[in-house]
Structure 1
Amino acid sequence: MSLDLDSGATPVTGRGAARAPVGAHRLPGWVVPGAPALLALALGLWGLPRQGALWRDEAATWEAAQRSVPEIWHMIGQVDVVHCLYYLLIHTVFEVFGPGLAALRLPSVLGAVIAAAATAATGRRLTGPMGGLSAGLVLALLPVMQRYAQEGRAFALVSAGVVVATWLLVGAVCPERSGTSPDGRERRGEWAWAWRWGAYTAVMLTTALLNWLSLLALAAHGVTVLIAWRAGQRPLLARWLAAAAVIVSGTLPLILASRRQVDQVAWIPPASGVTLLGVTAMLVVALICARVPRHRISHSRIPPHRIPQQGIPSQHPRSERTELSHVAVGLPLLAVPQSVLLLASWLVKPLYVDRYVLFAYTGLALLVGPAVARAVRAAVSYGRTGGRSWRRIPGEALLAGVVAVVFAALLPLELSLRTPASRTDDVRVTADRVAALARPGDGIVFVPDQRRDAALVTPSSFRGLHDLALAESPVASGTLYGVEAAPPRIRAAMLARKRIVVVTDIGSTPAPATPRDRAKLATLAQHFTLTSSAEAGGRRVLVYVRTR
Structure 2
Amino acid sequence: MAVPAVAAWALGLWGMDRQDSMWRDESVTYQVAHRSLGDLWGLLGHIDAVHGLYYLLMHAVFGVWDGGLVALRLPSVAATALAAAGVGAIGARLSGRTAGTLAGLVFGLLPVTQQYAQEGRSYALVTAGVTWATYFFVRGTEASRGRWWVAYGLLLGLSGWLHEFAVLALVAHALTLWLLRVPRRVWRCWGTAAAGVMLGLLPLAAVSAGQAEQQLGWLGRPSLNAWLQFLAVSAAGALLCRSLVRGPVAAGPGALAWLALPLLIAPAGLLMTISLVKPWYVERYVLYGMTGLALLAGEALARAVRRRHRLAPVARVLTACAALAAAVAVLLPWSLLVRSPGSRKDDVVAVARAVRESAHDGDGVLFMPARRREWLLSYPSVLGHLRDLALAESPTASRTLQGTELPAAAIRRRILSADRILALADPPGQPLDALPQEKVKRQTLSSSFEICERIRVRGAQVLVYTRPGHCAR
**TM bucket, shorter chain:** over 0.9
What is the 5 A alignment of 1:188-203? 193-203=145-155
Letter in 1 for 2:34: Q
SS at match of 2:102: helix
Cα distance between partner residues in 1 of 2:270 and 2:136: 24
CA contact (8 A) 1:162 1:207 kept: yes
CA contact (8 A) 1:128 1:297 kept: no
Answer yes or no: is 1:373 the counterpart of 2:341.
no
CA contact (8 A) 1:498 1:545 kept: yes
Answer yes or no: is 1:389 the counterpart of 2:341.
no
Cα distance between partner residues in 2 of 1:239 and 1:227: 17
Residue number among 212, 217, 240 corresponding to 2:164 in the alignment = 212
Answer yes or no: is 1:328 the counterpart of 2:258.
yes
Residue number among 324, 338, 354 corresponding to 1:417 in the alignment = 338
Answer yes or no: is 1:451 the counterpart of 2:372.
yes
CA contact (8 A) 1:126 1:296 kept: no
What is the 5 A alignment of 1:40-439? 40-175=8-143, 193-228=145-180, 230-231=181-182, 233-263=183-213, 264-293=215-244, 294=247, 296=249, 323-346=253-276, 348-381=277-310, 383=311, 387=312, 389-390=314-315, 402=323, 405-439=326-360
CA 1:364–1:352 in structure 2 vs 1: closer, same or farther (change >3 Å)? Answer: same
Cα distance between partner residues in 2 of 1:363 and 1:506: 37
SS at match of 1:410: helix
CA 1:139–1:458 in structure 2 vs 1: closer, same or farther (change >3 Å)? Answer: same
CA contact (8 A) 1:61 1:152 kept: yes
Cα distance between partner residues in 1 of 2:430 and 2:240: 46
CA contact (8 A) 2:363 2:387 kept: yes
1:241 Cα offset (Å): 0.8
SS at match of 1:508: coil
1:404 Cα offset (Å): 6.3
CA contact (8 A) 1:137 1:403 kept: no
CA contact (8 A) 1:376 1:399 kept: no
CA contact (8 A) 1:373 1:399 kept: no
Cα distance between partner residues in 1 of 2:390 and 2:343: 31
Cα distance between partner residues in 2 of 1:52 and 1:388: 46
SS at match of 1:501: strand
1:388 Cα offset (Å): 5.4
Larger Rg computed on CA atoms: 1
Cα distance between partner residues in 2 of 1:428 and 1:145: 23
SS at match of 2:442: helix
String of CA shifts for 1:291-327, please: whole Å, max 9, x gaps. 22455469xxxxxxxxxxxxxxxxxxxxxxx542111
SS at match of 2:19: helix
Runs of 4+ in 1 over 6 A off after TM superposition: 397-401
CA 1:68–1:398 in structure 2 vs 1: closer, same or farther (change >3 Å)? Answer: farther
Cα distance between partner residues in 1 of 2:324 and 2:192: 41
SS at match of 1:535: strand
1:511 Cα offset (Å): 3.1
CA contact (8 A) 2:377 2:383 kept: no
String of CA shifts for 1:268-301, please: whole Å, max 9, x gaps. 2321222111111111111111122455469xxx
Cα distance between partner residues in 2 of 1:204 and 1:333: 14
SS at match of 2:423: strand
SS at match of 2:434: coil
**Structure with greater proportional helix content:** 2
1:100 Cα offset (Å): 1.1
CA 1:330–1:477 in structure 2 vs 1: closer, same or farther (change >3 Å)? Answer: same
Q: In the alignment, which residue of structure 1 is the partner of 2:401?
A: 480
Where in structure 2 are there 5+ consecutive unaligned residues?
Answer: none
Cα distance between partner residues in 1 of 2:341 and 2:217: 26
SS at match of 2:243: coil
CA 1:404–1:46 in structure 2 vs 1: closer, same or farther (change >3 Å)? Answer: farther
Q: In the alignment, which residue of structure 1 is the partner of 2:465?
A: 544
String of CA shifts for 1:321-350, please: whole Å, max 9, x gaps. x5421111001101111110110111x222
Q: In the alignment, which residue of structure 2 is the partner of 1:27?
A: none
Where in structure 1 are there 5+ consecutive unaligned residues?
Answer: 1-32, 176-191, 299-321
SS at match of 1:544: strand
1:390 Cα offset (Å): 3.7
1:373 Cα offset (Å): 0.9
Cα distance between partner residues in 2 of 1:196 and 1:359: 20
1:141 Cα offset (Å): 0.7
Q: Cα RMSD over matched residues?
A: 1.9
Cα distance between partner residues in 2 of 1:513 and 1:521: 11
CA contact (8 A) 1:447 1:503 kept: yes
Cα distance between partner residues in 1 of 2:398 and 2:228: 43
Cα distance between partner residues in 2 of 1:108 and 1:401: 32
Cα distance between partner residues in 2 of 1:292 and 1:511: 50
Letter in 2 for 1:285: A
SS at match of 1:260: helix
CA 1:399–1:194 in structure 2 vs 1: closer, same or farther (change >3 Å)? Answer: farther
Answer yes or no: is 1:494 the counterpart of 2:409.
no
Cα distance between partner residues in 1 of 2:313 and 2:27: 56
1:76 Cα offset (Å): 0.8
CA contact (8 A) 1:532 1:544 kept: yes
Cα distance between partner residues in 2 of 1:333 and 1:41: 24
1:400 Cα offset (Å): 9.1
Cα distance between partner residues in 2 of 1:63 and 1:449: 16
String of CA shifts for 1:128-173, please: whole Å, max 9, x gaps. 1111111111111100000000000000110000100000000111
CA contact (8 A) 1:125 1:297 kept: no
SS at match of 1:512: coil
